[in-house]
Structure 1
Amino acid sequence: MNTTTTTPVPLDLWRNPHGRLMLRLAGGTEPVAVTPVRAFPIAAPLEGLSLVGPDGHELAWVPRLDALPAAARALIEEEFAAREFVPTITRIRSVSSFSTPSTWEVDTDRGAAQLVLKGEEDIRRLAGRTKLLIAASDGLQFHVPDVTALDRASRKLLERFL
């Protein structure tokens, strides 16, 4: 548990009438549309956040998402929810073949899904040996936060590819 206290980072954020996230920098500058970008989206999603302008340059840096005031944090989390779609695999129901490419039938936190694994190299280990990121052939990423939390049959299928 994080026992350090964080001082809220002051940011003047809001949505314009078109739904774009807007930022006014200190000193009352002209507002500019921004896109939040995580520095470490999988390994440390709450740490390191950049607000990037339309030209791709960083306009503001936030060391921790939870250091933002609640209203600004909610706006940024809405942006991430709309842009970051990484379903979490909760069960592997079947694989078509133990050689690649193979089609996987999985259950995720977003419902049942099918993915095509092109090669074993599309399964990346993150933060140790139990956290995985699986890239499907269509570009969608699937997350396994803890392999040991999967049921035995799922772990056995997955071990054939690791």
Structure 2
Amino acid sequence: MKLYVDSQGQLIVQDSMGNQWINVRPVRLFPLSQPDRWISLIDSAGREIVCIDDPAQLGQSQKNVLIGELERREFVPIVKRIISVSGNSEPCQWQVETDRGLTSF
């Protein structure tokens, strides 16, 4: 199996027979209890292509591609500070400082 990202930023999976899947999504099957194991690669139709039980067994370049795609997909900013919350009723506007900068929602 070969993993790579194409020029359009899509994850591609190629098996040993030369079959390719485009726009593949990696999904952690047990994100809380085993975040570094059991990663499923899902095709654009939502079907599992392969399940990787231990990514540490991949070659370094393949592992780097997989980890990079997981990080990109699982982007979650960390709120460091709440600057303000407008109003006492819903919906309200929050202004916060995250590890990625200022934002509001």
Q: Normalising by the residue count of structure 1, what TM-score does the alignment of the two structures yield?
A: 0.52
Other-structure match for 1:95: 85
- Give the corresponding residue for 2:26: 36
Gaps of 5+ in 2: none
SS state of the match for residue 47, structure 1? Answer: coil
* Partners of 1:86 and 1:58 in 2: CA distance: 24
Larger radius of gyration: 1
Instruction: Summarize deviations over 1:54-86 as a string: whole Å, max 9, x none.
Output: 332101101244443321121123323433332
Match of 1:72, SS? Answer: helix
Q: CA shift at 1:98, angstroms?
A: 4.3
Aligned to 2:12: 22
Task: Specify the alignment match of 1:112 in structure 2.
Answer: 102
Q: Which position in structure 2 is the counterpart of 1:125? A: none
2:89 matches 1:83: no
SS at match of 2:97: strand
Q: Tell me: CA distance 1:105–1:55, structure 2 relative to 1, closer, same or farther (3 Å).
A: closer
1:50 counterpart SS class: strand
Structure 2: how far apart are the matches of 1:99 and 1:40?
36
Could you say what the CA RMSD is over the residues aligned between the two structures, in angstroms?
Answer: 2.5
Distance (whole Å) between structure 2 residues aligned to residue 36 and residue 48 of structure 1: 10
Percent same amino acid among aligned pairs? Answer: 33
Measured at CA, do residues 108 and 35 of structure 1 come closer, stay the same or move farther in structure 2, by a change above 3 Å? same
Aligned residues: 103
Given the two structures, how large is their TM-score scaled by the length of structure 2? 0.73
Cα separation, 2, equivalents of 1:13 and 1:38: 16
